[in-house]
């Protein structure tokens, strides 16, 4: 990732001005200006630059800084995402809940009002027959008015709860993202293509090939995979077996040949969270002849050697190969 991450806070309030939902939305903007939503948890995978002076005069810093001029474009996209994917879904649920509550209130209160009206008729008949029910009649009339008022109050309350408003999203942070390897001069950056090269190989092509191989592997095994890697949720693929309903949260790691595997804190956290439902798929020779090594529950079954300064877990090649499931 090379670019900016924009962080916005959004609130939805109801007719009583109560906050009914609050969301943090983060958008990643690369140096070419392309924008996509990412998980706010991505900050787990990043570390601050100790010496900011080492990049402030670099070309890549200037390229990324220029992206800040697109603030209005980012804000418009944030509002669009919030309204289409967030507000409208919540509004639909609110309307559905309103109809359910409205029907329940009307049925309950109408029954009570009907019982009260019945009592009023009974008392009126007794009074016409010469019995002393004036006090009871007056009390029941007041009770009926009270029930009608209570019904209207409840209906007004749920109507206000149904009427929700999306408040203007507030920008509360912008994060500049530059790979440490570029800062240290270990990798080169092609700003025209937004490509990072390592040892002369396009890393994005290796990752894309690994993803393609794993997606096909899941389909070949009669599971239904969904690519979720752009959300940066801590895994790349969500795969489901339509027969057993088994769920696999899959993190795909590709090599142009073979080697150690690097895991970010967010990926490791998700591995621990999902346990046996989390799978690490290592793809060797991803560009030419992909060989896939599936590993179930890597947080439990794999040992990492150390944590680098870049906050990545290193799993040695001999370790993950030994634990793969053929």
In sequence order, the β-bridge partners of residue 240 are 224, 247
Q: Which residue has the higher pLDDT, 294 or 315?
A: 294
Look at the alpha carbons of 291, 296, 302, 304 in this order and tell me if their dihedral is positive or negative.
positive
- For β-strands 247-254 and 278-284, DSSP reports them as parallel
The per-residue pLDDT for range 171-182, each reduced to its tens digit, is 999 988 887 666
pLDDT of residue 97: 92
pLDDT band of residue 213 (cuts 50, 70, 90) is: very high
pLDDT band of residue 59 (cuts 50, 70, 90) is: low
The 3-state DSSP class for residue 215 equals helix
Average pLDDT, the chain: 85
- For β-strands 19-30 and 35-38, DSSP reports them as antiparallel
Confidence check: pLDDT of 198 > 70: no
Which pair of structure tokens corresponds to residue 209?
């090939």
Residue 300: in which H helix or E strand, if any?
A: helix 298-301
Confidence check: pLDDT of 136 > 50: yes
Tracing tokens 């270990």 back to the chain, one arrives at: 186
Could you tell me the domains of the chain?
Answer: 1-188 (no CATH), 199-323 (3.40.1350.10)
Please state, in angstroms and rounded to a whole number, the distance separating the CA atoms of residues 246 and 240: 6
Please state, in angstroms and rounded to a whole number, the distance separating the CA atoms of residues 185 and 54: 11
Confidence check: pLDDT of 170 > 50: yes
The 3-state DSSP class for residue 97 equals helix
pLDDT of residue 37: 85
Please state, in angstroms and rounded to a whole number, the distance separating the CA atoms of residues 13 and 162: 10
> Do residues 8 and 171 lie in contact, with contact meaning Cβ atoms separated by under 8 Å?
yes
Span 199-214, average pLDDT? 83
């Amino acid at each position: 990732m090379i670019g900016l991450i924009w962080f916005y806070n959004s609130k939805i309030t109801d007719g009583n001005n109560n906050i009914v939902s609050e969301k943090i939305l983060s958008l990643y903007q690369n140096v070419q200006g392309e924008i996509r939503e990412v998980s706010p948890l991505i900050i787990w995978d990043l570390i601050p630059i100790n010496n900011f002076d080492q990049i402030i005069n670099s070309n890549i810093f200037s390229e990324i800084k220029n992206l800040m001029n697109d603030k209005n474009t980012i804000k418009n996209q944030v509002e669009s995402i919030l309204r289409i994917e967030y507000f409208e879904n919540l509004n639909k649920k609110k309307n559905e809940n309103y109809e359910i509550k409205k029907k329940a209130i009307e049925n309950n209160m109408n029954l009570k009002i009907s019982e009260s009206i019945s009592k009023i008729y009974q008392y009126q008949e007794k009074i016409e027959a010469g019995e002393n029910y004036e006090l009871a009649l007056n009390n029941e009339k007041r009770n009926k008015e009270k029930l009608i008022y209570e019904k209207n109050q409840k209906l007004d309350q749920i109507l206000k709860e149904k009427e929700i408003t999306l408040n203007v999203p507030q920008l509360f942070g912008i994060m500049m993202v530059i790979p440490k390897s570029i800062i240290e001069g270990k990798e080169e950056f092609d700003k025209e293509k937004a490509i990072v090269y390592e040892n002369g190989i396009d890393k994005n092509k290796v990752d894309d090939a690994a993803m393609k191989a794993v997606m096909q592997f899941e389909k070949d095994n009669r599971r239904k995979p969904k690519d979720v890697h752009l959300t940066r949720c801590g895994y790349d693929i969500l795969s489901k077996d339509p027969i057993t309903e088994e769920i696999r949260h899959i993190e795909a790691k590709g090599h142009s040949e073979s080697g150690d595997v690097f895991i970010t804190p967010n990926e490791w956290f998700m591995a621990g969270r999902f346990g046996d439902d989390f799978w690490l798929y290592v793809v060797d020779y991803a560009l030419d002849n992909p060989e896939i090594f599936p590993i179930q529950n890597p947080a439990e079954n794999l040992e990492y050697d150390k944590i680098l300064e870049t906050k990545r877990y290193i799993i040695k090649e001999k370790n993950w190969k030994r634990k793969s499931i053929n």
